[in-house]
Structures are given as structure tokens and as C-alpha cells.
Amino acid sequence: MDTNQPLIEINNLSYRYDKENVLENVNLQVENGSFLAIVGPNGSGKSTLLKLILGLLNPQHGEIRMFGKDSNTFREREKIGFVSQKANSFNTGFPATVFEVVASGLAKKLGLFRFLKKEDREMVYRAISSVGMEKFAGRNIGELSGGQQQRVFIARALAGTPELLVLDEPTVGVDAKSVQSFYELLGKLNREKGLTLLMVTHDIGAVSEKVTSVACLNKELFFHGSTKEFEQLKMEDVSGIYGHDVKLIHHDHQSEKQGEDMA
Ligand SMILES: Nc1ncnc2c1ncn2[C@@H]1O[C@H](COP(=O)(O)OP(=O)(O)OP(=O)(O)O)[C@@H](O)[C@H]1O
Ligand SMILES: [Mg+2]
């Protein structure tokens, strides 16, 4: 593919489950090497948009181009890693080690029941160490904190060496300190490994320094621009997007608390 071509290109996309559109005329480009945060209130279509991008749903109107190819014919799914909104409700009683959970991320490439070769095992260890969890490789997943489990789910997504990592609210239920180190990790993967990241989040304040751009969705795409432009948005614009008053600028600590409630 042409290196200047956007990794994801969405043109005039609309989608509905029943009568009413939940996405309407969305146009969005995600450049190779960028870190895009998608924000918007509950029910605004964020997860639906991700499912369309992941090829779990098909566009009814408009088109999505992935790595330059129409999403209906795009087959190189191993180029995309996904950490779902539900990852953190994973059954923690599940008897699997960190190594096994991460190795399951190779299943797409290998088929579920194949033995791991030496190079596969090395790939798994590389993914585990890239999220700083090497000490825990043999530990049962259920015996980790929520933040540590999230790191393992990222490692699982990374084990397949994707070019794009898609995350749907990956920090729900993770404490503030772990959230910060989790975002540090994402920022590092983006800067140092050139991994393209697309993340739905409700705590834009905490991640705004790590992301390269922000998109605000509420059925329609209301805004897409740099973090700086996003922070310069006027309050009335943001309230318009959310349909009620919100505060999401994170600079002064008084508004920070309210910012957490923004969605
Ligand atoms: N499988 C489905 N069938 C019918 N309607 C659905 C389905 N999935 C989602 N919806 C509806 O589509 C709209 C968008 O849902 P979506 O899950 O994309 O929102 P979201 O922005 O991810 O919300 P949240 O912040 O709560 O995760 C909602 O009104 C939801 O009720
Ligand atoms: Mg969602």
C-alpha cells in the first residue's frame, strides 16, 4: 500500500440496527502512525463504529477502506489487534496463565490447536515484555489486578504483531494510577514502535497528552482535530455534542473531578 495513504478511510458512512441511524454520514481518516481518541456520550455509536472498522459489521451506506482496501473485501484481519470494552469483565476464575492468554492472541495466525514453535513462544514473550509483565508470565490471570489484566489483554492483541490496535474503553474499572501507566504504555507503543492506535475513551483528560488527535462522535462526527484544537473547543460546542453541560478540560483540578463525569 502507498505509505501516504490513510490506514483507515471512512467515507459517508451511515449505519442502523433498526429504523434509526446510529451513525450518520461519518467521514474520518486515520493516518498511519497516529493515536486517535474517540469520545462521545453513551449510545453515540462509538462501539458500532469500531465494529464496522473491525469488519464485525458491514457498512450499509458509504464505505470504509482499510489499508487501502474496501472493508467488504479486506481479509488481512491479522493486521488489526482488538481490546474490547468487555475485556475487563473477563472471568477471572478462568484457569489460564498470562503466557497462555497472550499465546491465544496467535490463534488467528496459527489455528487454535497447533503446538507453539520456538519462534511463536518468543513472540509471546516479546509481547509480554512489551507491556512490562515478564515477571508474571507464569501467574494465573485471575491473580492479577485489573490494571495488570488490561496489560495482558494488550499483550494478547500485540502477540499477533498488528499494525493497528483498536481499543474500546480499555480502562473501565482500572484505578487512576494504573490508568496513567496504561496510557504511558500506549503512548510508548505509538511513539517508539509506530503502532497506530484507535481508542474509544471516556477519560480524555487523562490521555490527551498521549494522543495525536481526537474525534467527537454523537451519531455524526462533530469534530476531528489535534488535541490542541480539541482543548480549544469552546464549552458550548462540547455541550452541543453531548447534549448537556459538560466540563472536560483537565488543566485545573477543580474541573477535573467534574470532567470524570462527562459521560
Ligand atoms: N446489536 C444491536 N442491536 C440493536 N441496537 C444496538 C445494537 N448495538 C447497539 N445498538 C444501539 O446503537 C446505539 C449505539 O450503540 P453503541 O454501542 O455503538 O454506543 P457507544 O457509543 O459505544 O456507547 P457506550 O459509551 O455506552 O459504550 C445505541 O442506541 C444502542 O442501543
Ligand atoms: Mg461502547
- For the stretch 192-240, pLDDT in tens is 989 999 999 988 887 888 999 999 999 999 899 998 888 887 666 666 6
Residue 141 main-chain phi, psi, to 5 deg: -55, -35
- What's residue 254's pLDDT? 39
201 contacts 39 by C-beta, under 8 angstroms: yes
pLDDT one-digit tens code per residue, 245-260: 554 544 444 333 443 4
Please report which confidence band the pLDDT of residue 179 belongs to, taking 50, 70 and 90 as the band edges: confident
Please report which confidence band the pLDDT of residue 128 belongs to, taking 50, 70 and 90 as the band edges: very high
The set of cell numbers assigned to 72 is 467488504
Strand ranges of the sheet holding 164-168, from the earlier edge strand across to the other edge: 80-83, 164-168, 196-200, 35-39, 213-218, 220-226
CA of 41, nearest ligand number: 1
C-alpha–C-alpha distance, residues 179 and 161, integer Å: 23
CA of 202, nearest ligand number: 1
C-alpha–C-alpha distance, residues 161 and 159, integer Å: 5
Q: How far is the centre of ligand 2, averaged over its atoms, from the C-alpha of 118 (Å)?
A: 38
pLDDT one-digit tens code per residue, 79-112: 999 988 766 555 666 688 999 999 988 866 555 5
Q: How far is the centre of ligand 2, averaged over its atoms, from the C-alpha of 55 (Å)?
A: 16
Indicate the top mutation candidate among 16, 26, 48, 57 to test ligand 1's pocket, ranked by most ligand atoms within 8 A of CB.
48
- What's residue 146's pLDDT? 79
C-alpha–C-alpha distance, residues 75 and 210, integer Å: 30
Q: What is the mean pLDDT of residues 66-72?
A: 93
CA of 49, nearest ligand number: 1
List, chain by chain if needed, residues with CB within 6 Å of any ligand 1 atom: 17, 22, 40, 42-48
Q: How far is the centre of ligand 2, averaged over its atoms, from the C-alpha of 142 (Å)?
A: 24
Burial 127-157 (b: 16+ CB within 10 A, else e): bbebbebeebbeebbeebebbbbbbbbbbbb
* Nearest CA owner, ligand 1 atom 17: 47
Cα(first)–Cα(last) distance of the chain, in Å?
38
Its pTM stands at 0.85
Q: Which residues surround ligand 2, an ion (CB under 5 A)?
A: 47
- State the amino acid at position 196 in one-letter form: T
Q: Is the model's pLDDT at 261 over the cut of 70?
A: no
Higher-pLDDT residue of 243, 12? 12
- Neighbouring C-alpha atoms within 13 Å toward the C-beta of 137: 15
62 contacts 25 by C-beta, under 8 angstroms: yes
The DSSP bridge partners found for residue 9 are 29, 65
Task: Report which DSSP code applies to 252.
Answer: S
- Ranking 27-36, 168-177, 188-197 by mean pLDDT, the lowest is 168-177
Q: How far is the centre of ligand 1, averaged over its atoms, from the C-alpha of 45 (Å)?
A: 6
